[in-house]
Amino acid sequence: MAEVKTKGEVVLNRVAIVAVVVALIVMLTPIYWIASTAFKPRSLATTVPPTVMFEPTLTPFAKLFTKRSQLRQPVEEDVYEAAPWWEKLIYDDGEQVVKNRKTGAITSSGYWDRYKNSLIVSIISTFLAVSMGTLTAYGFSRFKVKGEQDWLFFILSTRMLPPVVVAIPMFLMYRTVGLHDTHLGLIILYTAFNLSFAVWIMKGFVDEIPREYEEAALVDGYTRLQAFWKIVLPEALTGIAATAVFCFIIAWNEYAFALMMTSRNAQTAPPYIPSQVGSGLPDWSVIAAGAFLFLLPVAIFTFLLRNHLLRGMSFGAIRK
Amino acid sequence: MARIELQNITKRYGGTRALKDLSLTVEDGEFFVLLGRTGAGKTTTLRVVAGLEKPDEGRVFIGDSDVTSWTAAERDVALVLQQYSLYPRLTVRGNLEFPLRPKVRNMNEDEIRRRVDRAAKTLQITHLLDRKVERLSGGEMQRVSIGRAIVRDPRVFLMDEPLSALDAKLREALRVELKKLHQDLGATFLFVTHDQVEAMSMGDKIGVLRSGRLVQVGTPSEIYERPHNTFVARSVGTPPMNLIEGRLDGESARLGSFVLPVSSPANSEQKVTFGVRPENIVIQSGAPAEARVFDIEDQGVIKILALDMGDTRLHATVPAGTHVNRDEVVRFGWKPERVLSFDPETGRNLAL
Ligand SMILES: Nc1ncnc2c1ncn2[C@@H]1O[C@H](COP(=O)(O)OP(=O)(O)OP(=O)(O)O)[C@@H](O)[C@H]1O
Ligand SMILES: [Mg+2]
């Protein structure tokens, strides 16, 4: 349909576009900065003013995944030639990969392990929070619950305290029961964080689904659980996607508890990246590479769910 | 096929009592229409029968079984609603198959296909089978909803105002079709509506529901001719029955200064509310009463006159050929044998 716009509307439209572009630039600059620094050689990472045109290199990533030491003397020709491409990049930068004296195995930096921990903890806790939240929301939405309002308020109230306030007692409790520095410990913690949030958002979505759909299924001979699977879940998918993205982001980015509750085994990426800043002279491009890789899962996850999110972000307004 | 019996059902929602001691029997193969205004408890009654709502008191029987404690799935009834009974994510075929797919039915694909095709043919929706439900018109949607009900030979059909969202033409067409469907299937129908025309034209029996109570049950003509009280009297017929305050004195009715004959005499003089349907009012020169024509509505075959007799507004239907003018003063009488008398306090029909 062709829309006829008045002159005023055209001007307004342009102003809006300019505003959006400005806002985008402001918001995306830090991300661009991190992304570009991740591909800069060390020498260009901290130049003032920042270098915009440069030849991108994978050196920061090669360094990110390995443990290195300074080269005392130039590396021998044949050793250099025999090395894989990423090791050459490290040699080029005047460093060498630390290797096991006996086996010659490469010592990894630990970044990948932390990254894996982040993935495990975030994915599992998101799954738990969203599935339990959806079921709880369904219960509150469809059944008469005694003191429903009070329960819902109670659930929300668990988020009213800044979580760090309870960090020390939590820490002591975790130490006592042996959850300190375990995946399970962090998963429980993040699930608990996100659950209240998931219940509230999902309740909004489930409330929007006409109960007539399920009731028709019940009359048709389906059990309550089958009706939930066949009718409610597909209808709630939009809300589930939105909730999952939020929960994932919160779990993925969580820093304070990850720092306190883990030390080696279960440490996630957020506390690890800044810990690298402290050791010696910071290598900003390596840190940027770490941060850049860290940004990717949320971006990918959000991108995959984008169709659901566009509708889901309007919180429950599924129907026209 | 089965009969439905409700025994002394009471249903409360918090403080409000939606159904009060409701007893009702729908015979096997009967088309029973529950007629009531908004909030009368029609939907609640259907939900209680379907098992979507547990009554606080009373028992529900379907066939010979006491199903009060059965789940909706176990009761094997079909429910058609005014809207929202189709799944927007599925095609028409998907929707029709849905009631056949529960594991308990254990039906093979051939049988499912056969039944869906048969139902589609019955309702003339075969050409729509592969369409998404969102792309259907209101009338088509209701056809599919009815199709969803008939694919699986339920013991009883429950319908909650299935036609009320449709426009008048379509409603009339579907009314006829539903009636025919009922005859072909020979099934028990409990049909709920607030539309008296629908009730009168479709029901083998009508139950008039008022604030959760069943006021009267009867055939359409019983309801029309012999209402138990003024409420039922005004629930059916367009325009509704005229109610006129007056006195019954021997064989005559005194309406203000006019005296009209009645055929059901009273022994002692008493205050009475007379009920007379518009078609039983006769405009005639020399008739005993007098009124001013306030309005004339020409409907083609008939004219509906609004008459002012003193402070009382009356309606009369007269042949279209009758010549009257607005503000004209006309003389009228009534057919004495068709006049009903009600108790002015309670509204009860004095003849019953
Ligand atoms: N879930 C509910 N919670 C509280 N009150 C309810 C509920 N369902 C129905 N009621 C009340 O019970 C009474 C009967 O409602 P019901 O829906 O059966 O009426 P109805 O005859 O179907 O009306 P309508 O023609 O408007 O559909 C009404 O007063 C209504 O407000
Ligand atoms: Mg209703």
Architecture of domain A111-313: Orthogonal Bundle (1.10)
Res. A311 pLDDT band, cuts 50 70 90: low
Return the residue of A nearest to B152 by Cα: A220
The runs of H, that is alpha helices, within chain B are 42-50, 72-75, 92-97, 109-122, 138-150, 168-185, 196-202, 220-225, 230-235
Q: Which of the ligands is closest to the CA of residue B40?
A: 1
pLDDT for residue A80 is more than 70: yes
Question: From the alpha carbon of B46, which atom of ligand 1 is closest?
Answer: 18
Closest-CA distance, A226 to chain B, in angstroms, reads 9
Most distant pair of Cα atoms in chain A: their distance: 82
Residue B70: per-residue pLDDT? 95
C-alpha R_g of chain B: 24
Question: What are the chain B neighbours of A210 within 8 Å (beta carbons)?
Answer: 84
The Cα–Cα gap between B156 and B191 comes to: 11
* B113-137 per-position pLDDT tens digit: 999 999 999 888 999 999 998 888 8
**Other CB atoms closer than 10 Å to residue A100's CB: what's the count?**
9
- The neighbouring-strand residues paired with A5 are none
Give the pLDDT score at A318: 41
Q: What is the mean pLDDT of chain B?
A: 92
Q: Which of A30-34, A103-107, A243-247 has the lowest mean pLDDT?
A: A103-107
Test A234 with B99 for CB contact under 8 angstroms: no
Strand partners, B77: B156
Strand pairing category for B16-26 and B258-261 = unpaired
Closest residue by Cα to residue A93 from A106, A78, A80, A102 = A80
Q: How many helices (H) and strands (E) does chain A have?
A: 16, 2
- Average pLDDT of span B240-256: 89
Mutate to test the interface with A, among B77, B80, B98 (most CBs of A within 10 A): B98
pLDDT at A275: 78
Using CB atoms, pick whichever of A212, A220, A222 lies closest to residue B84.
A212
The percentage of residues in chain A with a pLDDT greater than 90, rounded to a whole number, is 55
User: B13-47: per-residue pLDDT in tens?
Assistant: 988 999 999 999 999 999 999 999 999 999 999 99
- pLDDT at site B293: 94
B118 touches A244 (CB < 8 A): no
Taking only the tens place, the pLDDT of each residue in A253-307 is: 999 999 999 988 899 999 988 877 655 678 888 889 999 999 999 999 989 988 8
Residues B207-232: pLDDT tens digits?
999 999 999 999 999 999 999 999 99
Lowest mean pLDDT, pick from A130-139, A195-204, B170-179, B198-207: B170-179
Residue A219 to residue B79: CA distance in whole angstroms: 7
Query: From the CA of B216, how far away is ligand 2's center (Å)?
Result: 19
Instruction: Identify the burial level of A283 via C-beta atoms within 10 angstroms of its C-beta, where 0-12 means exposed, 13-18 middle and 19 or more buried.
Output: buried
Q: How far apart are CA B226 and CA B236, in angstroms?
A: 11
Categorize the per-residue pLDDT at B168 as very low, low, confident or very high, splitting at 50, 70 and 90.
Answer: confident
Asked if A169 and A175 touch (Cβ cutoff 8 Å), the reply is no
Is ipTM strictly over 0.90?
A: no
> How many degrees, rounded to 5, is the angle at CA B274 between CA B271 and CA B280?
160
A207 CA to chain B: closest CA distance, Å? Answer: 15
Given an 8 Å threshold on Cβ–Cβ distance, is A223 in contact with B78? Answer: no
> Are residues A217 and B98, on separate chains, in Cβ contact within 8 Å?
yes
The pLDDT of residue A217 is above 70: yes
pLDDT over threshold 70, residue B152: yes
Residues with CB under 6 A from ligand 1: B 13, 16, 18, 36, 38-44, 194
DSSP state of B126: G
**Residue B227, preceding bond cis, omega within 30 degrees?**
no
Q: Which candidate in B101, B145, B157, B159 is best for mutational testing of the A interface (most A CBs within 10 A)? A: B101
Under an 8 A CB cutoff, do A218 and B52 touch?
yes
User: Residues B292, B327: contact at Cβ < 8 Å?
Assistant: yes
Q: Which residue has the tokens 């860290």?
A: A294
User: What does the domain layout of chain A look like in residue ranges?
Assistant: 2-37, 66-97, 111-313
Calpha distance B211→B37 (Å, rounded): 9
Task: Band the pLDDT of A317: cuts 50, 70, 90.
Answer: very low
Contacts of B217 (CB under 8 A, 6+ apart): B24, B205, B206, B207, B208
Inspect the interface and report whether the beta carbons of A212 and B76 lie closer than 8 Å.
no
pLDDT category of residue B351 using cuts at 50, 70 and 90: confident
Angle value at C-alpha A235, between A229 and A237, nearest 5 degrees: 90
Give the confidence band of A316 by pLDDT, cuts at 50, 70, 90.
very low
Locus of tokens 């039906």: B107
What average pLDDT is seen over chain A?
88
* CA distance, residue A312 to nearest chain B CA (Å): 17
3-state secondary structure string, A160-219?
Answer: CCCHHHHHHHHHHHHHHHCCCCCHHHHHHHHHHHHHHHHHHHHHHHHHHCCHHHHHHHHH
Over residues B251-275, mean pLDDT: 84
pLDDT tens per residue across span B57-80: 999 999 999 999 999 999 999 999
Q: Which amino acid is at A107?
A: T
pLDDT digits (tens, 9 = 90+) for B285-329: 888 999 999 999 999 899 999 999 988 999 999 998 888 999 999
Cβ distance of B79 and A215 shorter than 8 Å: yes
Flag if A212 and B73 touch (Cβ within 8 Å): no
Please tell me the number of the ligand nearest to residue B22's CA.
Answer: 1
What percentage of chain A reaches a pLDDT higher than 70?
A: 95
Asked whether the predicted pLDDT for residue A315 surpasses 90, the reply is: no
Among B6, B10, B44, B211, name the best residue to mutate to test ligand 1's pocket (greatest count of ligand atoms within 8 A of Cβ): B44
Mean pLDDT of A106-131: 94
Q: Specify burial of residue A72 (Cβ count, 10 A radius: 0-12, 13-18, 19+).
A: exposed
pLDDT band at A312 (very low <50, low <70, confident <90, very high): low
Mean pLDDT for the stretch of residues B105-113: 92
pLDDT at B147: 92
Please report the pLDDT score of residue A110 as a whole number: 87
Q: Please give, rounded to a whole number of angstroms, the shortest distance from the CA of A220 to a CA of chain B.
A: 5
Determine the distance separating the centroid of ligand 1 and the alpha carbon of B34, expressed in angstroms.
14
Domains of chain B: 4-235 (3.40.50.300), 242-342 (2.40.50.140)
Burial of B142 (0-12, 13-18, 19+ CB in 10 A): buried
Residue A174 confidence (pLDDT) above 50: yes
